[in-house]
Amino acid sequence: MAKKKKTITKTARKPIFQGTKSFFKNRQTQTIIGLFIALFAIFLFISFVSFLFSWQQDQSQLSNFGDKNISVKNLLGKIGASISNFFIYDGFGVSSFYVPILLFFSGISIFLKGSLIKVRKYWAWGILAMIWLSIVLGFFSAQNSLLPGIIGYELNNYLQQFLGKTGLILSLLFLLISYIVIRFKFTPEKIQSLIPEKKHTDGVEKQLTDSDIEKLTSNENIESSTTNVNLVEPQTKSDFELSLNNLEPTIKKHLTSNSSTKNDETHGAVEIDVEKIVEEKHVEENLSSKLVKDFGEFDPTLELSEFKFPTLNLLRDYNESISVDQEELEAHKNRIVETLNNYNIGIARIKATVGPTVTLYEIVPDAGIRISKIKNLEDDIALSLSAMGIRIIAPIPGKGTIGIEVPNKKATMVSMKSVISSTKFQNSEMELPIALGKTISNETFVVDLAKMPHLLMAGATGQGKSVGLNAVLTSLLYKKHPAEVKFVLVDPKKVELTLFNKIERHYLAKLPDTDEAIITDTTKVINTLNSLCIEMDNRYDLLKDAMVRNIKEYNVKFKARKLNPENGHKFLPYIVLVIDEFADLIMTAGKEVETPIARLAQLARAIGIHLIVATQRPSVNVITGIIKANFPARAAFRVTSKIDSRTILDASGADQLIGKGDMLFSGGNDVIRLQCAFVDTPEVEKITDFIGSQRAYANAYLLPEYSGEEVGTSLDIDISERDVLFRDAALVIVHAQQGSASLLQRKLKLGYNRAGRLIDQLEAAGIVGQFEGSKARQVLVPDEMALNLLLDGEK
């Protein structure tokens, strides 16, 4: 009991931490904090200014801070005076004014944007500048001790001892220049690039005038032929006065003149105007790190940032303390020893571990006993213990002992609450953690669905399969944000998973243009599976483009803003496809579901689509080789025969389970016995209500569009090529007045493909109307008589 309490308090810490984090993320909190900081900055500023005038009077009073009779002159009272004294007198002198200024901008930044990202840089630079200035002002401490403050004065003094006054001045100058160079990216080129521009224009004017002066003075020919030029004496006029206007005609004349004799002068007169080289600007960081710096990492949960995970109190408490019945243990031990002795098997040691449903007796047999001998005695031991559910593990992997599992007389329920609240689950860093139940040693069993990567579940009716599925889904709901995982739920029984409809817009994925997200109809299952295959292909393209190997790396890259959403990149949630009653699907649609499932199972692990397939009948025609090969993780509840156990687990044992959530889990090599966590329908309802009542996305997660290839195509079907069941199909359709392929499937026990082809033939014959999306086709023939007339007419 005490242990349990401890675990709960430990796990409670995380939500509190998450709570504080989300508290500070909350915009209202940020507004208030921002406002507070800005106002505090104004307070500081006023008290600093006031301190400059009143510090001498106030300083002597500060030691008697608490004395009521003493008052200070500072506008903001004793607190203002002491803070100002701390910053200005004891600290950095007048450079301390940086503090209220920086605080003010930080406050405003939090108030307006809720972040400090941009202001952080100013803080770093501001503090450096403040220290620098206070050291500089240290030179003037004789004039006014307030200027550098004690720290500035002391630093200045200290540094002067090392560097001398000149050395310190030079060092401070060096620091100032370095600051300007780094901060404003000021380089000698930049200074140069500013100067030539002016020089250049000056130069043009100058050169023009010079050359013109030359022309005006030396070239008699031109001068004499020029009629409209006002000749001016260069010597008496300054360069400035020789304006371009006056010289214009001379140049014009040069330009219009073709005479070769004037070429030389032309060469001298025509100016070459060299385009200034503009240095391109370079950034110091690439776009992604700049984006991350400015906006932080991409947060997929932002759209539903206020989403609250379901609380533990939605789950029920059950009386779970395992009672160890000493008598029972003793009796079982004696029986085991006795039985084995009857077969001449001596036992060196025996140890019992009491689990929720079964107790494991670990036996170390005497030396020289063959293990297979004990294994063969399984039934005999079961008989002598007169209990069902005995399982013999010989040897226990990694232990070198032989295990005999014997059901407890009184099984203990493992509640969902106990596994969800376990530290193991709460602290798990897995991608898709699932708390399946508890092991025989009472440890919570948590596995990562993303690593499995698909789960096959089997068990005869009423043995806890549906509860198991709910436990899986509940685990994910308690751990994963709606942005991180989406479910595709297939439930041919139509009743098991309906509760999850409430969280459609949070957690479910569906085909576009469908009303219900939970799929109950075979046709839709096929479309959805094919759509998932398209999604898989699309995701592979995205991964290829991003040059990553799996969804985890992809999302990390996307969060670091290294992938451009304009190129189709987006945060990819995991997709968990849950299929209940798989056998039923295979019976009705056969290959059509098997092919896409096998494809998904083979390829989808890297791109985050994981399958959970549950079936009542684990026979080989349901769990075919190709499916089995791609589902290394299997969970078996009690099945009815050894063969079924072999089909699902590749080992016997599942037929020996005691039901009610007693299960065997095989993650590839070892088989572990678990008691599945129990979650009741009302609990699931509470959880889905809790989530469903919160703000959701506008729509369920939409899968790519897929409409059956067979539907609505090839209308020119030859009469001779009609299916032998054509007439029967037409009759079914006309009687029901409903043109749907699934009706034909059910009535004529056909596969989906054949039913689809029949519908096409019926359309070609004019018996049913066109394909109308999710609606059933219109039936164009009113009754059997009309149908007979139509078909006879064809002949």
Q: What is the dihedral of CA 99, 101, 105, 108, to 10 degrees?
A: 100
Distance (Å) of CA 703 to CA 506, 554, 593, 723: 14, 19, 17, 34
**Which of 453, 459, 573, 653 touches ligand ATP (CB under 6 A)?**
459
Segment contacting ligand ATP by CB under 6 A, of 289-297, 456-464, 499-507, 753-761: 456-464
**Which residue type, as a one-letter code, is found at position 223?**
E
**Residues 615 to 674 in contact with ligand ATP, rule: CB under 6 A:** 616, 660-661
Q: Of the two residues 268 and 659, which places its CB atom closer to ligand ATP in the complex?
A: 659
Instruction: Write down the residue that tokens 């170390």 correspond to.
Output: 364
Place of tokens 């790519």: 704
Q: What token pair was written down for 644?
A: 């079924």
Q: Is 466 in the site for ligand ATP (CB under 6 A)?
A: yes
- On the CB side of 302, CA atoms within 13 Å amount to 9
| Beta carbon of residue 626, minimum distance to ligand ATP (angstroms, whole number) | 24
Stretch that binds ligand ATP, among 106-114, 402-410, 454-462, 704-712 (CB under 6 A): 454-462
Q: How far is the CB of 410 from ligand ATP (least distance, A)?
A: 13
Stretch that binds ligand ATP, among 25-33, 374-382, 463-471, 646-654 (CB under 6 A): 463-471
Distance from C-alpha of 607 to C-alpha of 566, rounded to nearest angstrom: 20
Of 103, 151, 242, 467, which lies in the binding site for ligand ATP, with binding defined by CB under 6 A?
467
CB 462, min distance to ligand ATP, A: 5
- What order do you get walking across the sheet with 662-666 strand by strand? 444-448, 433-439, 671-676, 662-666, 633-636, 455-458, 609-615, 574-579, 485-490
3-state secondary structure of 663: strand
Determine the residue with CB nearest ligand ATP. 661
CA distance 652 to 604: 30
Q: What residue has token string 């031991």? A: 381
- Return the number of the residue (187 or 323) whose C-beta is nearest ligand ATP: 323
Residue 91 interacts with ligand ATP (CB under 6 A): yes or no: no
- Considering beta carbons, is residue 562 or 617 the nearer one to ligand ATP? 617
DSSP-H helix ranges across 440-521: 465-479, 504-507
How does DSSP classify residue 501? G
Q: Is 463 annotated as a binding residue?
A: yes
Applying CB under 6 A, which of residues 355, 453, 464, 756 lies at the interface with ligand ATP?
464
Neighbours of 450 (CB within 10 A): 20
385 in contact with ligand ATP (CB under 6 A): no
Nearer to ligand ATP, 377 or 436 (CB): 436
Residue 407 interacting with ligand ATP (CB under 6 A): no
Rg (alpha carbons) of the chain, rounded to whole number: 43
Closest separation between CB of residue 413 and ligand ATP, Å?
Answer: 5
Closer residue to ligand ATP, CB minimum distance, 76 or 676 = 676
Work out whether 463 is an interface residue with ligand ATP (CB under 6 A).
yes
Site string for ligand ATP, 575-614 (x = CB under 6 A): ----------------------------------------
Is 739 within any annotated ligand binding site? no
For residue 254, give every residue at least 6 positions away whose Cβ sits within 8 Å of its Cβ, in sequence order, or none. 222, 262, 265, 266, 269
User: CB 672 → ligand ATP: shortest distance, Å?
Assistant: 15
Q: Is 462 annotated as a binding residue?
A: yes
Q: Which region, judged by CB under 6 A, interacts with ligand ATP, from 179-187, 364-372, 460-468, 516-524? A: 460-468
SS3 content of the chain, % helix, strand, coil (to 5): 55, 10, 35
Contact 773, 512 (CB under 8 A): no
Site string for ligand ATP, 741-760 (x = CB under 6 A): --------------------
199-202-204-207 Cα dihedral, nearest 10 degrees = -110
Pairing of strands 574-579, 509-510: unpaired
Does position 413 interact with ligand ATP (CB under 6 A)? The reply is yes
Interface stretch with ligand ATP, choices 39-47, 85-93, 465-473, 719-727 (CB under 6 A): 465-473
Nearer to ligand ATP, 365 or 459 (CB): 459
How many residues make contact with ligand ATP (CB under 6 A)?
Answer: 14
CB 381 within 8 A of CB 336: yes
Subset of 46-65 contacting ligand ATP (CB under 6 A): none
Site string for ligand ATP, 670-709 (x = CB under 6 A): ------x-x-------------------------------
Asked if residue 559 belongs to a known ligand binding site, the reply is no
For residues 431 and 644, which CB has a smaller minimum distance to ligand ATP in the complex?
A: 644
Q: 167, 203, 462, 512: which one contacts ligand ATP (CB under 6 A)?
A: 462
Kindly indicate which of the ranges 439-447, 457-465, 510-518, 543-551 contains the residues binding ligand ATP, using the contact rule CB under 6 A: 457-465
Report the residue number, 215 or 465, with the smaller CB distance to ligand ATP. Answer: 465
HSE on the CB side for 437, CA within 13 Å?
31
Residue 416 vs 525, nearer CB to ligand ATP: 416
Flag whether 164 is marked binding.
no
**DSSP annotation of 152:** H
461 interacts with ligand ATP by CB under 6 A: yes
Q: Is 417 labelled as part of a ligand binding site?
A: no
Using the minimum distance from each CB to ligand ATP, give the nearer residue, 369 or 434. Answer: 434
361 vs 200: CA distance, rounded Å: 98
CB of 610 closer than 8 Å to CB of 449? yes
For the record, the structure tokens of 757 come out as 């082809």
Cα–Cα distance for residue pair 575/332, rounded to 1 Å: 47
Q: Which residue has the tokens 């569906």?
A: 510
Shortest spacing between CB 622 and ligand ATP, in angstroms:
14
Is 459 annotated to bind a ligand? Reply is yes
Part of the chain binding ligand ATP (CB under 6 A), chosen from 193-201, 458-466, 689-697, 717-725: 458-466
Distance CA 222, CA 249 (A): 11
Count the neighbouring beta carbons within 10 Å of the beta carbon of residue 312.
Answer: 17
The total of other beta-carbon atoms located within 10 Å of residue 357's CB is: 29
Nearest-angstrom CA–CA distance, 456 and 663: 13
Phi and psi, residue 132, nearest 5°:
-60, -50
Q: Which positions make up the binding site?
A: 459-466
* Binding-site sequence positions for ATP: 459-466
Give the binding site for ligand ATP (CB under 6 A). Answer: 413, 459, 461-467, 616, 660-661, 676, 678
